[in-house]
Amino acid sequence: AQSVTQPDIHITVSEGASLELRCNYSYGATPYLFWYVQSPGQGLQLLLKYFSGDTLVQGFKGFEAEFKRSQSSFNLRKPSVHWSDAAEYFCAVGEGGSYIPTFGRGTSLIVHP
Amino acid sequence: EAQVTQNPRYLITVTGKKLTVTCSQNMNHEYMSWYRQDPGLGLRQIYYSMNVEVTDKGDVPEGYKVSRKEKRNFPLILESPSPNQTSLYFCASSFTTSGGTTDTQYFGPGTRLTVL
């Protein structure tokens, strides 16, 4: 069964600094990978996804993620963080033939002015 | 506007009193699901539905029931709630992929349930 690890529970960055949120998955074939963002008091919203093709995918709000098969990773990056990016970020993986997607435990992003 | 709605948004109840949380989507998605979110545990799927009258267990189905009589609605039923079901619940819907899994999920705003 697939699993997702987000090793960082909290990350604190200064506004304007770069950001990388880590995500590692455990799955044999090519997974379907997602990053979702949850703002306080709201549901999750898709940031970006990877199914196949170009391993560097772009999302909204200037986020991008790179699929690295050799490292089983799908890390989320942003070159310059804005205060409005403070939120909870979830990595998720889907497996062909399974309709039970697996979510990581989330990383809480704190942005200092 | 494409959306998933849930009601109620907040609910405080007592042990054993049956309750239903409603979920509706207007995107004609065939797939719908329920999750619970608990601190430090991320999201765990309770039940999902591939289409009308087709439902299946997720990772944590014990103590919950669902039904899918119409494509747009997917209510979550707690027949006899217990305090360990105190949680934040999300409904979600999506299309499915040709590879046999879920595509982008659209989440409702959440229902915060407290069982005393």
Nearest by CB: A44 against B50, B102, B107: B107
Which DSSP category does A30 fall into? P
pLDDT of residue A28: 65
The mean of the pLDDT values for chain B is 95
- Regions of chain B where pLDDT drops below 70: none
User: Across the interface, do B102 and A101 touch by the CB < 8 Å criterion?
Assistant: yes
**pLDDT per position as a tens digit, A41-73:** 888 999 999 988 889 999 988 999 999 999 999
The closest alpha carbon to A45, from A103, A89, A107, A4, belongs to: A89
Rounded to whole angstroms, the Cα distance separating B26 from B22 reads 14
- The residue of chain B nearest to residue A94, with distances taken between CA atoms, is B101
Q: Is the pLDDT of residue A89 over 90?
A: yes
**pLDDT per position as a tens digit, B102-111:** 889 999 999 9
Tell me the pLDDT band of A1, cut-offs 50, 70 and 90.
low
Q: What value does the mean pLDDT take over residues A93-113? A: 90
The closest alpha carbon to B76, from B91, B86, B59, belongs to: B91
- The residue of chain B nearest to residue A92, with distances taken between CA atoms, is B43
Token pair listed for B103: 């595509």
Q: How far is A47 from chain B (nearest CA, A)?
A: 10
Q: How far is B93 from chain A (nearest CA, A)?
A: 12
The closest alpha carbon to B24, from B16, B32, B12, belongs to: B32
User: Across the interface, do B56 and A103 touch by the CB < 8 Å criterion?
Assistant: no
Instruction: Note which residues in 71-110 of chain B have CB less than 8 A from chain A.
Output: 90, 92, 96-97, 99-105, 107-110
Nearest-Å Rg of the Cα atoms of chain B is 13
